[in-house]
A and B are shown apart, each in its own frame.
Chain A
Amino acid sequence: GAGVSQSPRYKVAKRGQDVALRCDPISGHVSLFWYQQALGQGPEFLTYFQNEAQLDKSGLPSDRFFAERPEGSVSTLKIQRTQQEDSAVYLCASSSRRLAHNEQFFGPGTRLTVL
């Protein structure tokens, strides 16, 4: 069975460019999470979807960050007008159940470098 996949695995953007990062969760998983992991740090929560509903976006660092999951499966994290401080690994995780305290399955991440 396929796990969580993310694409692209690596993305280099010039400052000011818009980027879109894709997450394909495990089929049938209800919950989907996005995290940002800066170099040498632990991941930090960005946003949470339950099916197509974005129930928590309190971790999004600015209004340049936008996430969607229109059909309750694939999710896209979009970053507009990228800045150097956006450089990080963006991790996606999915869970078969609601709420974060259930086991999450992580994707390999997308490493974003903003020049």
Chain B
Amino acid sequence: KNEVEQSPQNLTAQEGEFITINCSYSVGISALHWLQQHPGGGIVSLFMLSSGKKKHGRLIATINIQEKHSSLHITASHPRDSAVYICAVTTGNQFYFGTGTSLTVIP
């Protein structure tokens, strides 16, 4: 039962590179969330979107409802961006999470 699929599972990048993480889902959704999880478990909500595109600093999130696909982009990546990035979708009261993309940015 994988309502949410992310790719890649692991990603290593050089500092400064442009990064893309992809998310596909199979259920009808109210919203899609991108979350950041640092070692130790703390989760921070980066974006919540139901259409179009959102930008926050170096982070950009897009969603295509027809294709049931979203992407998270990081421009000018930095070692502090190293974390697990989780895509999650909501339907009603339920949250379905992807397994995450582990990003390591090397100086």
Contact = CB atoms under 8 A, between A and B. Distances in A.
Interface of A: 33, 35, 37, 40-45, 48, 55-56, 58-59, 89, 91, 93, 99-106, 108-109, 111
B30 A99 contact: yes
Dominant SS among interface residues on chain B: strand
20 contacts: A40-B99, A42-B86, A42-B88, A42-B100, A44-B97, A48-B93, A56-B93, A56-B94, A99-B90, A99-B92, A100-B90, A100-B92, A100-B95, A101-B31, A101-B48, A101-B50, A102-B48, A105-B45, A106-B43, A109-B42
A91 to B, nearest CB: 7
A104 to B, nearest CB: 6
Contacts of A91: 41, 43
Given A42-B88, A56-B94, A100-B92, A89 B48 contact: no
Among A37, A101, A106, the most chain B Cβ lie within 10 Å of the Cβ of A101
Contacts of A59: 94
A109 B100 CA distance: 17
Contacts of A45: 94-96
Nearest to B4: A42
Contacts of B95: 33, 35, 43, 45, 100, 104
